[in-house]
């Protein structure tokens, strides 16, 4: 068992006791500790128990666009595929169904907490609540027409209504917040008013930041400032702000974000596939920035598999710097668990297996050729394990998956319904291209 508490050694064998939604105790199961009395037991012998993974950046409903259009220049991809579909095909029901599909993939991959940002966020929240996932659901805000918000003048109102309607929905597992798309799609006035809405509620505030070189250059041209300094001038940088990507940040911007205690979501698979660049994560960590991992949406990834992100993060920063000691396996696993929880302001509740924390945990199969032999569990989890190795998933003391069977979702029905409607999506695109 890996508790992911800083500096803690693996407990092999270990135990974790769950009472209600929380971890009551955890320790050694080799006879050194007295095992608590339990009503139900799960023998995880030959497996690894660890905290559930935390996906700090996702657009769940974009699973609809998985593999629809790859290997294109960003503008081509957006204007020929994503924008027309978001404008003319997605609707509330499809957002809900897409978020259910995404939830199935997330649970199967051992994600227990997800931060999602998209439109019709109420539908996303309803889907994640049904799945039993923990997380932050954020309503997207942009200064142009968006799914469910055709009039951009209403974007903040829609976000405010969504946040205020979220009190109590989904039990205590889901926080409802707001996600400004970016400094280049939201005016200064929108950004400031949005941050004000979340700040007053003590909620995390998300935005894409410095994802592409062109975007950072354009911001500098229009505002005279580099991205982090621009946000700082607007007063957006504080410990509740989560900046996503941060690929094109310079050293003094990293230093500024760290000083303001801003959090960063690192999405290496999406950044790589879009050719956006490599975020300077080792330097961010050296500056003390809190960094988590995110999958981004399936339209640009094309999966919601955080194991791939760990593997890529641990490899990519080594090869970019030519230094094989950078971003070690234990560090990469910490980003995907403990640090991800801190990014979302949930560090006191999840991210490690410590008594009193919520019982969000996963069990990973080891009895597989690609995970044999075993010398170092951190190494296997980062460099060899994959989503399919997760066999059990628990959130808040409730099983979401047992023996690879989803307990909260009707997976076959979801897959079939998505397949059927995806043919309508293809037809829609076909009509569009002929028009």
Footprint of a second copy on 349-378 (CB under 8 A): 367-370, 372-376
DSSP secondary structure, 188-202, as one string: HHHHHHHHHHHHHHT
Size of the chain, expressed as the number of residues it contains? 435
* 305 lies in the site for a second copy, by CB under 8 A: yes
* 104 lies in the site for a second copy, by CB under 8 A: yes
* 211 lies in the site for a second copy, by CB under 8 A: no
In 10-152 the beta strands, taken as DSSP E runs, fall at 14-19, 22-28, 47-51, 53-58, 111-118, 134-141
Q: How far is the CB of 275 from a second copy (least distance, A)?
A: 4
DSSP element (H, E) containing 180: strand 174-180
* 74 lies in the site for a second copy, by CB under 8 A: yes
In 42-153 the beta strands, taken as DSSP E runs, fall at 47-51, 53-58, 111-118, 134-141
Q: How far is the CB of 378 from a second copy (least distance, A)?
A: 8
Count residues near a second copy (CB under 8 A).
75
Is 363:391 a contact under the CB 8 Å cutoff? Answer: yes
Q: How far is the CB of 73 from a second copy (least distance, A)?
A: 6
User: Of the ranges 142-150, 170-178, 185-193, 419-427, which one interacts with a second copy (CB under 8 A)?
Assistant: 419-427
Token duo for residue 401: 């998956």
User: Of the ranges 156-164, 187-195, 219-227, 301-309, which one interacts with a second copy (CB under 8 A)?
Assistant: 301-309
Under rule CB under 8 A, which residues in 307-346 are in contact with a second copy? 308, 311-312, 314-316, 318-319, 321-326, 328-329
Q: What are phi and psi of 232, to 5 degrees?
A: -65, -40
Under rule CB under 8 A, which residues in 224-283 are in contact with a second copy? 269, 271-278
Binding mask 84-103 for a second copy (x = CB under 8 A): -----------------xx-
* 432 lies in the site for a second copy, by CB under 8 A: no
Under rule CB under 8 A, which residues in 149-178 are in contact with a second copy? none
Residue 145 to residue 147: CA distance in whole angstroms: 7
Is 227:216 a contact under the CB 8 Å cutoff? Answer: yes
Among 13, 255, 411, 432, binds a second copy (CB under 8 A): 411
Residue 363 to residue 111: CA distance in whole angstroms: 11
Is 262 or 414 the residue whose CB approaches a second copy more closely?
414
Among 9, 73, 153, 435, binds a second copy (CB under 8 A): 73
Q: How far is the CB of 166 from a second copy (least distance, A)?
A: 25
Q: What is the DSSP code (8-state) at residue 48?
A: E
Is 178 or 276 the residue whose CB approaches a second copy more closely?
276
Binding mask 28-67 for a second copy (x = CB under 8 A): -----------------------------------xx-xx
Among left, alpha and beta (phi > 0; psi -120 to 50; other), residue 120 is left
Q: How far is the CB of 225 from a second copy (least distance, A)?
A: 23
Cβ neighbour number for residue 22 with a 10 Å cutoff: 16
Distance in angstroms between the alpha carbons of the first and the last residue of the chain: 58
Cβ neighbour number for residue 430 with a 10 Å cutoff: 10
Question: Where does 246-288 have alpha helices with state H?
Answer: 251-259, 268-273, 281-286
Under rule CB under 8 A, which residues in 371-410 are in contact with a second copy? 372-376, 379-380, 383-384, 386-389
């Amino acid at each position: 068992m890996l508790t992911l508490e800083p500096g803690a050694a693996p407990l092999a064998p270990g135990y974790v006791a769950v009472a209600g939604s929380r971890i009551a105790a955890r320790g050694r199961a080799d006879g050194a500790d007295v095992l608590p009395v339990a009503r139900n037991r799960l023998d995880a012998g030959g497996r690894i128990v660890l905290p559930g993974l935390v996906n700090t950046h996702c657009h769940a409903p974009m699973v609809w666009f998985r593999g629809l259009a790859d290997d294109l220049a960003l503008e081509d991809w957006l204007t020929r595929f994503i924008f027309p579909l978001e404008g003319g095909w997605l609707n509330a029901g499809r957002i809900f169904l897409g978020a259910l599909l995404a939830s199935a993939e997330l649970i199967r991959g051992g994600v227990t907490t997800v931060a999602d940002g998209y439109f019709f966020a109420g539908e996303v929240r309803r889907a994640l609540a049904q799945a039993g996932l923990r997380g932050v659901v954020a309503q997207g805000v942009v200064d142009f027409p968006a799914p469910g918000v055709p009039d951009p003048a209403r974007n903040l109102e829609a976000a405010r209504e969504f946040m205020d309607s979220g009190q109590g929905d989904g039990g205590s597992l889901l926080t409802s917040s707001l996600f400004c798309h970016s400094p280049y799609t939201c005016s200064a006035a929108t950004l400031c008013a949005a941050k004000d809405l979340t700040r007053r509620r003590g909620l995390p505030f998300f935005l894409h930041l410095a994802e592409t070189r062109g975007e950072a250059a354009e911001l500098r041209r229009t505002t005279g400032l580099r991205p982090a300094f621009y946000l700082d001038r607007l007063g957006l940088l504080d410990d509740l702000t989560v900046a996503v990507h941060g690929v094109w940040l310079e050293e003094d911007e990293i230093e500024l974000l760290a000083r303001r205690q801003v959090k960063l979501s690192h999405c290496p698979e999406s950044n790589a596939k879009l050719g956006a660049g490599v975020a300077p994560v080792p330097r961010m960590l050296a500056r003390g920035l809190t960094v988590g991992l995110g999958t981004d949406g399936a339209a640009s990834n094309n999966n919601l598999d955080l194991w791939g992100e760990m593997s890529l993060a641990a490899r990519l920063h080594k090869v970019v710097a030519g230094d094989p000691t950078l971003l070690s396996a234990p560090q990469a696993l910490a980003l995907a668990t403990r640090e991800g929880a801190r990014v979302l302001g949930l560090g006191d509740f999840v991210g490690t297996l410590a008594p009193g924390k919520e019982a969000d945990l996963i069990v990973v199969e080891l009895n597989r050729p690609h995970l044999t032999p075993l010398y170092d569990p951190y190494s296997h989890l980062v460099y060899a394990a994959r989503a399919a190795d997760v066999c059990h998933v628990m959130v808040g003391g409730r099983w979401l998956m047992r023996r690879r069977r989803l307990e909260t979702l009707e997976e076959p029905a979801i897959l079939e319904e998505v397949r059927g409607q995806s043919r309508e999506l293809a037809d829609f695109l076909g009509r569009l291209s002929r028009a």
